[in-house]
Structure formats: structure tokens, C-alpha cells
Amino acid sequence: MAQGIEIDRSTLDEWINNFRNNTNLPFSTNFGAFTKEQVGEFIKDAAPTYDGVEPGAFRIYPVRYPIASTGPADPNMELEPGSTYSRPAFVFVPADNDSGEILENKDRKVYVLPFGYGGSADPATRSATAGFPSSGPKLCPPKC
């Protein structure tokens, strides 16, 4: 079962900026949790995105996902009260082992492991789709 999703770099930047630019919102997340199997699958599944090379390093970003006015598309996602963003979550992002820079493929896409993400990677439709991952264990936060 795939653990990650491929997204545009601009989507990743949006999620990161949703966290960085909303310092007035509480940081109501105490920890992130994932299994060794989830991370192992993620690393294996990321290799095709980067021409068969498995990532050797990772960045971990605190993020907030945008949530439609109709509410979260996924029960694993929690709305931060009084906002249009999720409670804080984390995203695992492959990085170059030497430079530490985020790995992108030739189309400026990155293969990420988004904790508790409940929408589509497509910004135009993210609130209308079923969610990620479609089955299996959820990563937490934002809801554990």
C-alpha cells in the first residue's frame, strides 16, 4: 500500500506557509507517529519519482492543510477552530543526502508522506475527493 503522494512543489510550499504564516493559531499537536513499515514503504515508493534513486535524507515540516468551508473531507483531519486550516500536522519530504535540499523530479513534483492528509493533491479539487491514504493506517497528527 502506497504511503506517500506526489504533489507539486507549490502545494508543499502552500502547506508549509499555512503553518508559518498563522502563528496566531495554537500549536495543538504534541507528537507525530508512524511505523517503521510506513516509512520503509514510503522510501521504496518514492524511488520511481526520482528515477529509481531512494532518498537518503528527509526534512520534516510542520504544516496546516487548507480546509473547505464545508469542513474536512476526511474524519482523520481536524479543523483548527476559528480558521480554514487543519490542526498542525507534519510532512516527511525527501531531501538530497549531501546538500539537504528538497528533492524534486523534472516536473517540480515531490513525493511526500503527509500525516493525516484528507484531501486531493490537486488544489482545485482537494476538498471534494475521498482522501489519502484510501485504506490502511492513518498517520498522526492531526488526529491520533
Structurally, the chain folds into a number of domains equal to 1
Do the beta carbons of residue 113 and residue 92 sit within 8 Å?
yes
Between 25 and 119, residue with greater pLDDT:
25
Do the beta carbons of residue 116 and residue 131 sit within 8 Å?
no
pLDDT at 135: 37
Q: Is the pLDDT of residue 123 over 80?
A: no
Main-chain dihedrals φ then ψ at residue 92, nearest 5 degrees: -85, 125
Whether 138 is covered by a domain: the verdict is no
Beta bridge partners of 89: 63
Q: What percent of the chain has pLDDT above 90?
A: 17
Q: Is the pLDDT of residue 44 over 60?
A: yes
Whether 57 is covered by a domain: the verdict is yes
Q: Is the pLDDT of residue 41 over 50?
A: yes
**Which residues does 25 contact at the CB level (< 8 Å), separation at least 6?**
64, 80, 83, 85
Model confidence at 102, pLDDT cuts 50, 70, 90, reads: very high
Rounded-to-10 torsion of CA 64, 69, 74, 80? 40
Average pLDDT over residues 36-48: 85
Among 140, 26, 21, CA closest to 81: 26
What is the model's pTM? 0.77
Whether 136 is covered by a domain: the verdict is no
Whether 137 is covered by a domain: the verdict is no
Read off the pLDDT of residues 68-83 as tens digits, 9 standing for 90 and up. 766 666 666 677 888 8
Domain that holds residue 101: 5-128
Whether 10 is covered by a domain: the verdict is yes
Q: Is the pLDDT of residue 19 over 80?
A: yes
Whether 140 is covered by a domain: the verdict is no
Average pLDDT over residues 126-142: 42
